[in-house]
Amino acid sequence: MPRLYLIRHGKPSATWGGHDDDPGLDETGQAQADAARDWLLSRPEGERPTQVVSSPLRRCQETAAPTAQALGVPLEIDPRVGEIPTPRALSAEARPGWLQKAFQGTWAGIEGDLDYDGWRADIVASLVARGNTAVFSHYVAINGAVSKLLGDERVLAFRPDHTSITILETDGETLTLIAKGGEASTSVL
């Protein structure tokens, strides 16, 4: 079956709750993006991605760019693999606390104005049709896909590190988890 790689963005120049709502990568993040590209290109020909998809946010696009450039393909932007939507009534300053609370519970238990369990199902639906693709996404979105595939209702099914690569396979109708990406050694996102 065709492979699909779900990659968390590299280390950003600011974290959520910081001074920038859409930070790019810092120097470490740029090096991580290059390392992810090198790993993806080192796959055997039949497992190497031929398409590159990214969340709309800068940190994902900057992580995806080296891979797209090396493959000579356009970078496709897909909001469905973007960051978890913040409830409309929540201020940017309140987002970190809201996320921390969400991380302690289940998808159905997240407080907000969205069906977050449905949101993670939409992520999986967007991935199932994407064989031979490298998809650059976010901590929570990756957890959404992995937890759905594992049948795990917890928001945090694992702690994907920056540029960790989760390997999936798809036949165009089903999505199978082959291996989770590397996990962060600390609780800092």
Residue 141 has pLDDT above 70, yes or no: yes
| pLDDT, tens digit (0-9, with 9 covering 90-100), for 32-53 | 999 999 999 999 999 999 999 9
Confidence of residue 150 (pLDDT cuts 50, 70, 90): very high
| pLDDT, tens digit (0-9, with 9 covering 90-100), for 72-105 | 999 999 999 999 998 999 988 888 899 999 999 9
Residue pair 2/169 in contact by the 8 Å Cβ criterion: yes
User: Smallest Cα–Cα separation from 153: which of 108, 122, 102?
Assistant: 108
Residue pair 107/82 in contact by the 8 Å Cβ criterion: no
Residue 20 has pLDDT above 70, yes or no: no
Distance (Å, whole) CA 31 – CA 36 = 9
Which pLDDT score is estimated for 186?
A: 64
Instruction: For the chain, give the longest Cα–Cα distance.
Output: 48
Which pLDDT score is estimated for 16?
A: 57
Tell me the two tokens of residue 128: 């199932």
Distance (Å, whole) CA 128 – CA 168 = 9
